[in-house]
Structure 1
Amino acid sequence: MNSYKIIKTKIGWGLFRSGSVKPLAEASTKKGLVEAAVPLLAGKASSVKVHNENGTFQELRF
């Protein structure tokens, strides 16, 4: 199973594979990024950790 995280970036929000510093997707809002991540991760066994703006853990999605 692949692990990903959604965190705040300089330009908005980014979807990162665990251990990576290069985002797979970016958006100006967290909601927009979650919507963009759905087709990227569809059909893959993955977990996504969503973080708050201050970096604290918010929720885990599968």
Structure 2
Amino acid sequence: MVTYRIEKTSKGWALFRARRFRPVAETETKEELIKVAAQILAGSKVAVRVHNANGTFQELRL
């Protein structure tokens, strides 16, 4: 299972694959990014770690 993370960046919010620094997708808001991530990752067995704006761990979505 591949793990992704959603984190705050200087440009807004970004979806990263585990241990990678280049974002898979970027949006201005967290809500938009979650919708985009759901479309990109649909049908795949992945885990998504969602972080708060301050960097603390918020939740893990499967």
Measured against the shorter chain, the TM-score band is over 0.9
Alignment-mate amino acid for residue 31 of structure 2: K
Q: After superposition, give the CA deviation of every residue in 1:7-59 in whole Å (9 maximum; x if it has no partner).
A: 00010000000000000000000000000001110010000000000000000
1:54 aligns to what? 54
| Structure 2: tracts of 5 or more residues without a match | none
Give the root-mean-square deviation of aligned CA atoms. 0.4
1:8 aligns to what? 8
| Structure 1: tracts of 5 or more residues without a match | none
Query: What TM-score does the superposition give when structure 2 sets the normalisation length?
Result: 0.98
Query: What TM-score does the superposition give when structure 1 sets the normalisation length?
Result: 0.98
Tell me the percent identity: 52
Summarize the alignment of residues 25-44 of structure 1 with structure 2, pairs less than 5 Å apart.
25-44=25-44
Moved over 2 A (4+): none
